[in-house]
Amino acid sequence: MRNTFIDTLTELAAADPRIWLVTGDLGFSVLERFAERFPGRYLNVGVAEQNMTGMAAGISTTGKVVFTYSIANFPVMRCLEQVRNDICYHNLNVKIVAVGGGFGYGSAGYTHHGLEDLAVMSALPNMTVLAPGDPVETRLAVRAIVQHPAPCYLRLGKGGEPVVHTSEPRFEIGKAIPLMSGKDLTLISTGGILSIVMSAARALEAAGFSVGVLSMPTVSPLDRDAVLAAAAASRALLTVEEHAPGGLGSRVAEALAVAGAGIPFAMLTADRSHLHLAGSQDYLRDHSGLSLEAILAKARDLLASGRNAG
């Protein structure tokens, strides 16, 4: 995803002189292709996320579209107050990009895991929060946020995420992307775990169930209409995200509760009871309850119970 991101941004920047890229000294071997073509619109501020974020705000006041770039939590939490006060309060045209969402930097340890970013960013005013599901959604998301003159947060995988979309879907900020539709269960996914969710859906279909999949590249504002439509079309809903409670699942639950849409519902989130472990992204997904098997087990519970399986 990060290669797709930088290639898309570089392509857009060739036609749009407003686009700037600011990094906190991360992105080695990735950002060079932008920096070499547009040195006058590239800045490495050093290992200083607060300055990166405050400066991005200042630059954007002069009519620029400013991307900040760093790893997992660094552009989000280290500088959270700059994001809140300097960017969101002023409703500035700054795009915060975090690579390695979820367990992307798995073996690096919990300091480098992005497990709370969607919740934190979704709490802020004026902020649009995106977590594309594959490289195709990533390309479309980058194009869309450049055209959206307000703060955006873009959570990306670290790299190597499989392509899920066989053709380019219609992409609009705040709109879900339906991939499959089914009467028994709809799986709702955000971020790079989409390919595993698709595998789960196919396995359930092979077992005779009618299963839908909604990819939610925008977490905030949530596409409530799509959630409620899925709740009307299928007997149960299951959300899956590589994130702690407070992200997609919580927001879907809120939408269902507010609408009074009583439906069997469960949310799979990352279990954080083993924060101290090293491991690959796959290992840590499995270990935190986000394996293909865990998704299938939770789906079967929901399908069997016909009631809220929590």
Chain residues that interact with another protein, rule: CB under 8 A: 40-41, 43, 45-46, 48, 50-51, 53-62, 64, 81-82, 85-86, 89-90
Nearer to another protein, 58 or 246 (CB): 58
Please give the single-letter amino acid code of residue 223: D
Nearer to another protein, 79 or 270 (CB): 79
Nearer to another protein, 88 or 154 (CB): 88
Report the nearest approach of another protein to the CB of residue 120 (Å).
17
What does the alpha-carbon distance between residue 62 and residue 73 come to, in Å, rounded to a whole number? 27
Nearer to another protein, 53 or 138 (CB): 53
Report the nearest approach of another protein to the CB of residue 188 (Å).
36
Report the nearest approach of another protein to the CB of residue 119 (Å).
22
Nearer to another protein, 125 or 260 (CB): 125
User: Both tokens of residue 235?
Assistant: 């007997």
Sign of CA dihedral 30, 36, 40, 46: positive
Report the nearest approach of another protein to the CB of residue 47 (Å).
9
Instruction: Go through 265-288 and write b for each residue having 16 or more CB atoms within 10 A of its CB, e for each that does not.
Output: bbbbbbeeeeeeeebebeebbbbb
Report the nearest approach of another protein to the CB of residue 149 (Å).
16
Nearer to another protein, 66 or 252 (CB): 66
Nearer to another protein, 24 or 191 (CB): 24
What does the alpha-carbon distance between residue 42 and residue 38 come to, in Å, rounded to a whole number? 6
Report the nearest approach of another protein to the CB of residue 50 (Å).
4
- Cα distances from 30 to residues 1, 93, 268, in angstroms, run 11, 23, 32
- Cα distances from 151 to residues 123, 129, 168, 189, in angstroms, run 13, 9, 25, 23
Report the nearest approach of another protein to the CB of residue 66 (Å).
8
What does the alpha-carbon distance between residue 250 and residue 253 come to, in Å, rounded to a whole number? 5
Report the nearest approach of another protein to the CB of residue 71 (Å).
18
Nearer to another protein, 24 or 247 (CB): 24
